[in-house]
């Protein structure tokens, strides 16, 4: 072998070694870089998926349908030179009270439930309103009118004249589970003045079937959803939704000692909301349900006097003639032990069971009659006062009873209350509502229905003074 060939062979071997090590070095660097990079990319994708969870999707789905509601109210304010009630009454003829009207504004929330402009909110949000303005998340505004309001369930249905609007779907509340996620939407503290988009808070269903008295109004709420999703002032009327974006309740009020959310909020279940919407659209009001029976607790003394072997259930003390209960064959002295397959043993149980009853509902009642047990179905009907002359100018009134006081949340032990106002009558034009306590008509103090009948003979040149949920309202009829 020549020297030149030997040198070339050595150079070739050396080049092969260099190329071999170079390739290995490049392969190691590539193997070290790309897996880490791929892991980083996969991690970012996973984070993005985690961010875009069911709660985010549900909030974005319903958010465009949540509206802000601005309400203008006119209040009658009285000014007297005397603070003491005795001197005010004594010198009334010499120093009459000066009255003037004052406009105030309040804010609340609502939710669109159809593309043609039906808006659901709380009754207390729009009560006594002279003007209602609905603001969309986009900032677009519409005037709204009240289709119907229900003070007992604290619900109101509004209508704006627009079409092709975003809306939220109604879900189910009967299958809600304690501990499941819920989302509250609304405009707390009137932040709509700065931003018309709704805020979102998240929590769980804390309890079901809660009954509680409102801390800011003389209202008693029954069968409410309790949640720790923050419901602040201004959120009232907004939707409570599940994680698939369907309405399960309407945010109504909070239990608070300091004015803000303390993790105890309450919403009206959508099962009741659906019945209310049907009544409101069909009748323009919520008809007064009539069952026609009265019950009482069974204590030891009553059990001994009857006699009753055990204290189970509730004793039926009165059955109204020709009432749904009477027509179903229920008798005085029967005992109710279950309603709709749920046991009842106290007055509280009974009131909770009938709190959400609407006209047309059926109550399946299990009763005990002596030693027999019976199942009876009561078809709830509309309450109608058959006594002639009970309605005046379309205003149906009743003497206040304990039952009516509970139904409308009244603080009056006596007097008269409006139970129904017929559409297209003077009563509707005056804006009178079920639950209004009529205090005076044309300067005459009204203590019972007969007083109202006599006072109405002075129509039409007169005025009304009514108490509406603690607010004194003066309504002029005109000459």
Encode pLDDT of 94-141 as tens digits: 555 555 566 777 888 999 999 999 999 999 888 878 899 999 998 899
Decide if 284 is inside a domain: no
The three-point CA angle 438-443-445 to 5° equals 50
Dig out the tokens for 165 from the structure.
């609007």
Q: Where are the alpha helices (DSSP H) in 228-384?
A: 270-283, 300-305, 324-327, 347-354
Last residue of a domain, one of 214, 243, 278: 278
Decide if 135 is inside a domain: yes
Query: Residues of 450-479 as b/e, b for ≥16 C-beta within 10 angstroms?
Result: ebbeebbeeeeebebbbbbbeeebbbebee
Q: State whether 134 and 170 are in the same domain.
A: yes
Dig out the tokens for 37 from the structure.
């990079």
User: Which stretch of DSSP H or E encloses residue 445?
Assistant: strand 444-445
Would residue 345 show up in a list of annotated catalytic residues for this protein?
Answer: no
- Furthest C-alpha separation in the chain: 143
Other beta carbons within 10 Å of 289: 19
Q: State whether 212 and 236 are in the same domain.
A: yes
Query: Which residues lie closer than 8 Å to 191 by C-beta, 6 or more apart?
Result: 199, 234
The mean pLDDT value for 400-417 works out to 80
Dig out the tokens for 326 from the structure.
């009477």
Cα–Cα distance, 54 to 120 (Å, whole number): 24
Under 8 Å between Cβ of 153 and 272? yes
Handedness of CA 456, 457, 459, 465 (dihedral sign): negative
How many independent structural domains does the chain possess?
Answer: 4
Q: State whether 313 and 180 are in the same domain.
A: no
Pairing type for strands 463-468 and 437-441 reads antiparallel
Candidates 68, 150, 154, 356; catalytic one = 154
Residue 298 has pLDDT above 60, yes or no: yes
- The pLDDT score that the predictor gives to residue 136 is 92
Last residue of a domain, one of 257, 278, 299: 278
Candidates 124, 173, 349, 356; catalytic one = 124
Q: State whether 39 and 69 are in the same domain.
A: no
Cα–Cα distance, 182 to 179 (Å, whole number): 9
- The pLDDT score that the predictor gives to residue 28 is 54
The mean pLDDT value for 374-401 works out to 76
Indicate the pLDDT class of residue 33, thresholds 50, 70 and 90. Answer: very low
Q: State whether 235 and 319 are in the same domain.
A: no
Q: State whether 257 and 318 are in the same domain.
A: no
Query: Which residues lie closer than 8 Å to 220 by C-beta, 6 or more apart?
Result: 211, 212, 213, 214, 406, 409
Beta strand residue intervals within 138-264, DSSP E: 141-150, 155-160, 169-170, 181-186, 199-213, 220-227, 239-241, 246-254
Q: Which residue in 352, 358, 427, 359 sits closest to 397, CA to CA?
A: 427
Dig out the tokens for 277 from the structure.
């919407």
Please give the mean pLDDT across all residues of the chain: 80
Would residue 195 show up in a list of annotated catalytic residues for this protein?
Answer: no
Domain with 193 in it: 53-278
pLDDT tens readout for residues 268-287 = 999 999 999 999 999 888 88
Would residue 348 show up in a list of annotated catalytic residues for this protein?
Answer: no
The mean pLDDT value for 193-212 works out to 84
Candidates 68, 236, 261, 323; catalytic one = 236
Which residue is listed with tokens 């069971």?
Answer: 353
Residue 159 has pLDDT above 90, yes or no: yes
Decide if 283 is inside a domain: no
Decide if 209 is inside a domain: yes
- The pLDDT score that the predictor gives to residue 270 is 96
Q: State whether 167 and 303 are in the same domain.
A: no
Decide if 83 is inside a domain: yes
Q: 3-class SS at 225? A: strand
DSSP state of 192: G
Give the bridge partners for 207, in sequence order.
226
Under 8 Å between Cβ of 205 and 172? no
Q: State whether 316 and 251 are in the same domain.
A: no
Q: State whether 96 and 224 are in the same domain.
A: yes
More confident residue, 255 or 85: 255
Under 8 Å between Cβ of 121 and 235? no
Residue 345 has pLDDT above 90, yes or no: no
Indicate the pLDDT class of residue 31, thresholds 50, 70 and 90. Answer: very low
- The pLDDT score that the predictor gives to residue 25 is 59
More confident residue, 363 or 15: 363
Q: Which residue in 303, 309, 467 sits closest to 400, CA to CA?
A: 467
Share in percent of the chain as helix, strand, coil (round to 5): 25, 35, 35
- The pLDDT score that the predictor gives to residue 241 is 95
- The pLDDT score that the predictor gives to residue 32 is 44
The mean pLDDT value for 387-406 works out to 72
Residue 86 has pLDDT above 70, yes or no: no
Decide if 167 is inside a domain: yes
DSSP state of 163: -
Indicate the pLDDT class of residue 479, thresholds 50, 70 and 90. Answer: very low
Q: Length of the chain, please?
A: 479
Q: State whether 309 and 349 are in the same domain.
A: yes
- The pLDDT score that the predictor gives to residue 179 is 94
CATH number at residue 317: 2.30.42.10
CATH number at residue 226: 2.40.10.120
Q: State whether 157 and 251 are in the same domain.
A: yes
Other beta carbons within 10 Å of 418: 21
Indicate the pLDDT class of residue 358, thresholds 50, 70 and 90. Answer: very high
Indicate the pLDDT class of residue 387, thresholds 50, 70 and 90. Answer: very low
Q: State whether 342 and 362 are in the same domain.
A: yes
Last residue of a domain, one of 382, 415, 445: 382
More confident residue, 3 or 61: 61
């Amino acid at each position: 072998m020549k020297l030149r060939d030997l040198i070339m062979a050595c150079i070739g071997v050396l080049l092969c070694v260099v190329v071999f090590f170079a390739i290995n070095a490049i392969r190691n660097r590539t193997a070290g870089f790309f897996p880490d990079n791929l892991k980083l990319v996969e991690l970012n994708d996973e984070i993005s998926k985690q961010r875009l969870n069911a709660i985010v999707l549900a909030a974005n789905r319903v958010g465009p349908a949540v509206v802000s509601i601005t309400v203008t109210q006119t209040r009658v304010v009285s000014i007297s030179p005397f603070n003491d009630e005795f001197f005010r009454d004594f010198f009334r003829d010499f120093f009459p009270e000066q009255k003037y009207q004052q406009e105030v504004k309040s804010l609340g929330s609502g939710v669109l439930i159809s593309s043609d402009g039906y808006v659901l909110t709380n009754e207390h949000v729009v009560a006594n309103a002279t003007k209602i303005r609905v603001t969309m998340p986009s900032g677009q505004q519409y005037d709204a009118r009240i289709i119907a309001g229900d003070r007992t369930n604290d619900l109101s249905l509004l209508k704006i004249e627009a079409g092709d609007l975003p809306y939220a779907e109604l879900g189910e509340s009967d299958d809600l589970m304690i501990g499941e996620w819920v989302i509250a939407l609304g405009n707390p503290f009137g932040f709509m003045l700065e931003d018309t988009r709704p805020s979102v808070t998240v929590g769980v269903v804390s309890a079901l079937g809660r009954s509680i008295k409102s801390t800011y109004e003389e209202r008693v709420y029954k069968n409410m959803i309790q949640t720790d999703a923050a419901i602040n002032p201004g959120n009232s009327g907004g939707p409570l939704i599940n994680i698939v974006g369907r309405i399960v309740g309407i945010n109504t009020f909070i239990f608070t000692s300091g004015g803000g959310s303390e993790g105890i909020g309450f919403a009206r279940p959508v099962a009741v909301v659906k019945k209310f919407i049907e009544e409101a659209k069909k009748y323009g009001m919520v008809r007064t349900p009539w069952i026609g029976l009265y019950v009482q607790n069974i204590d030891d003394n009553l059990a001994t006097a009857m006699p009753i072997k055990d204290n189970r259930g509730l004793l039926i003390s009165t059955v109204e003639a020709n009432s749904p209960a009477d027509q179903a064959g229920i008798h005085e002295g029967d005992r109710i032990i279950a309603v709709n397959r749920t046991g009842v043993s106290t007055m509280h149980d009974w009131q909770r069971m009938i709190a959400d009853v609407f006209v047309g509902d059926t109550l399946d009642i299990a009763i005990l009659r002596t030693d027999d047990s019976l199942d009876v179905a009561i078809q709830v009907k509309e309450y109608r006062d058959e006594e002639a002359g009970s309605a005046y100018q379309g205003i149906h009134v009743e003497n206040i009873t304990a039952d009516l006081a509970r139904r409308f949340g009244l603080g009056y032990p006596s007097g008269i209350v409006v139970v129904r106002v017929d559409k297209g009558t003077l009563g509707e034009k005056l804006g009178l509502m079920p639950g209004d306590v009529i205090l005076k008509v044309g300067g005459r103090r009204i203590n019972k229905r007969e007083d109202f009948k006599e006072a109405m003979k002075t129509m039409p040149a007169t005025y009304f003074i009514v108490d509406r949920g603690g607010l004194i309202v003066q309504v002029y009829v005109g000459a």
